[in-house]
Structure 1
Amino acid sequence: MAKKLVRFFAPLLVVGGGIGIFMVLHATKPEPEKSSEKARPVSVYTATAERRPLTLEVSTQGEVRPRTELDIVSQVSGRIIEVSPEFTEGGLISAGETLLRIEDVDYRLATHEAEAGVAEAQVGLEQALADADVARKQLRNEPDASALALKKPQVAQARARLAAAEASLEQARLNLERTRISLPFNGRFTSTRADRGQFVSAGTVIGHAFATDVVEIRLPLADAQLASLDLPIGYSAPAGSGLPVTFSARVAGEPQQWRGRLTRLDAAIDPGSRTLYGLAEVHSPYDENVSDKGMPLAVGLFVEATITGRRLSDATVIPAAGLRAGDTVYLIASDGTLDIRQVNVLQRNAEQAVIREGLEGGEKIVISAIRNPIQGMAIVGIDDDATALATNH
């Protein structure tokens, strides 16, 4: 019986003893030392918000295209008997220069035939006028004489025949002139589809060319970029004016630049991209307005464009690293704490941001990263330093 009691109470005594020892140890444990030091402020790199005059610039891009381009079409039929050496891809076009000449024997014969028809019609008109004069004299005492008796319809018919003959002669001369194919502008060929000895019919496309007097570049513009230009939708510049534009591209392994002007804005927003397109022009891109390295602004080239926008007399400018997501900036308040502020951004690019509202000149902007930023947290600024900023980036 005693053994059974020992087996029953022994585990209970062990558990009770353990609990008692734990309670004694817990009651006698030493109190942890409490530190009176405050949280260490976070060190950040800063830059000063500047207020200064500024000319806004808008960066975009587009493809160079000719303002005038067309298919060269033969207006008469015949065999090609002469071809200009420049009638080839890339060939130079001079206004009025003969590019192709079609055999004109048939058209010269048609011109001679039309001239003979005019001479015959003139004789017929003279005869009709003479007959009318005789009839008028014979019937001068007949007040009721009819127009037919006075030969008036015959004269009208003779005049109509002469007019028709003269029109035929004019058409014959025009067809003869059209055997010589030329263009009214200076330009370049992009393709040719005819050669000497080939027979072409009226309406046959024999080549494609574009004018080199002016090239155009369509430039997409977002709403914020439109604000930087300060131009209305549907803007059209007076002749010879417009906002200055600098175009740049890498050609022949070297950076090239050209100058042009923004002359108009579309009157409607593109429904697919929700952007507005502007049109820039460059005059004489193949001779006068080449790049500083002598490279022409070639059709088909994709270029970067920098448009000079409006002039601000007093703008607040901060480094691009100081503008955070959601158009917010981190500032160091006068009491050394973090101030997270919403601002109204007028323009931003890879280098700087221009603030419209919400920021004053001289305020310290945080340009380095902050882990878990909290309004009012303690921070200490390190004056803006180019090396530190580069390291941070």
Structure 2
Amino acid sequence: KHTEIRAPFHCRIGTVTLDVDQYVGTGQDLFEAYNIDLVEVEAQAPMSEVRRLIQNESQTASLEEFSMQRVRDVFNVRAVVEMASSDMPARWEARFMRVRESLDLQTRSLSMVVGVDDPYEQVIPGIRPPLLQGTYCRVTLIGQARPNQVIIPRHTVHGSHVYVLDDEQRLRKQPVDVAFVQGEFAVIRNGLTGGEKLIVSDPAPAVEGMLIDPVADDELLDRVVTDASGADLALPTATNQDQAGNTGGSDD
């Protein structure tokens, strides 16, 4: 009755380790309180993949300039947090917050922390549960769009070349330099300018100069464009039925 504890933030009480009329000492844990205004999720990614998210047009940064604000500017990314559960799929829009100070010693991966704001306000009963402490999640980091890129299905790259059709509908081997691959697509640095007719099936045997009767694969084209544009990562917009419980719509 002589003690009143005021939390400095809106919270949900977890484990309580004290009883009524109990004496406590300095530094003793009394209870756990989880912030309901923000939930942080930590994700790891190899440095080779993290490099593609970094936006550093000047290509320079001194140690003194590498402040937390500088890190947020360099990692100008969106994030989507998904509950890794097949029986109740749920997504939340998140924002990049910070990177850990060191690499993981075993995986040599960089740990990045993203935050989901007001997860309890985004609850949709039976559809989107609250994002609780300890939930196993999948994090997708979305970098800034790279305009004027040549993308092709990744399976069409045969070592250092692809197969294309010339103006006479004949098969030609075209050397290419792949910038990186991701998902179902590959980004071409050199060798293709866009607009070429690409052989997407596996020609066997592939005889250069052979006459080809092409058939367009529109389904594959749509799938690769969707994958490269990130259109499948858009969050569903709330309907009138669940508008009251869903404050997070789609930004895409």
Q: What's the CA shift for 1:307? A: 2.6
- Map Cα deviations across residues 225-274 of structure 1 (whole Å, 9 max, x no partner): 33432335965327xx9532222225693321111111334454444323
1:220/1:275 contact within 8 Å kept? yes
1:329/1:343 contact within 8 Å kept? no
Q: What's the CA shift for 1:284? A: 1.7
Q: Kindly tell me: are residues 191 and 384 of structure 1, through their superposed partners in 2, closer, same or farther at Cα, counting changes over 3 Å?
A: same
Quote the Cα distance in structure 1 between the aligned partners of 2:191 and 2:124. Answer: 42
Q: What's the CA shift for 1:302? A: 2.3
Q: Does 1:331 align with 2:164?
A: yes
Quote the Cα distance in structure 2 between the aligned partners of 1:205 and 1:282. Answer: 27
1:228/1:310 contact within 8 Å kept? no
1:262/1:281 contact within 8 Å kept? yes
| Identity score, percent | 22
Q: What's the CA shift for 1:224? A: 4.4
Q: Kindly tell me: are residues 358 and 219 of structure 1, through their superposed partners in 2, closer, same or farther at Cα, counting changes over 3 Å?
A: farther
Per the alignment, residue 306 of structure 1 pairs with: 140
Gaps of 5+ in 1: 1-100, 105-178
Q: Does 1:385 align with 2:217?
A: yes
Quote the Cα distance in structure 1 between the aligned partners of 2:216 and 2:49. Answer: 29
- Map Cα deviations across residues 291-337 of structure 1 (whole Å, 9 max, x no partner): 6945322222222233331222311121233234x454233345623
Per the alignment, residue 189 of structure 1 pairs with: 13
Gaps of 5+ in 2: 222-252
Per the alignment, residue 71 of structure 2 pairs with: 236
Q: What's the CA shift for 1:211? A: 1.9
Q: Does 1:363 align with 2:196?
A: yes
The count of residues paired between Structure 1 and Structure 2 equals: 206
Structure showing greater relative contact order (alpha-carbon pairs closer than 8 Å, 6 or more residues apart): 1
Higher helix share: 1
Aligned residue runs from structure 1 range 1-393, under 5 A: 101=1, 104=2, 179-196=3-20, 199-203=22-26, 204-231=28-55, 235-237=70-72, 243-249=77-83, 253-266=87-100, 268-287=102-121, 289-290=122-123, 293-324=127-158, 326=159, 328-334=161-167, 336-350=170-184, 352-371=185-204, 373=206, 376=208, 378=210, 380-386=212-218
- Map Cα deviations across residues 351-382 of structure 1 (whole Å, 9 max, x no partner): x22222221211122211234656x3635252
Larger radius of gyration: 1
Quote the Cα distance in structure 1 between the aligned partners of 2:19 and 2:200. Answer: 67
Quote the Cα distance in structure 1 between the aligned partners of 2:86 and 2:167. Answer: 55
Query: Structure 2-normalised TM-score?
Result: 0.65
Q: What's the CA shift for 1:207? A: 2.6
RMSD between superposed Cα atoms in Å: 3.4
Higher strand share: 1
2:165/2:171 contact within 8 Å kept? yes
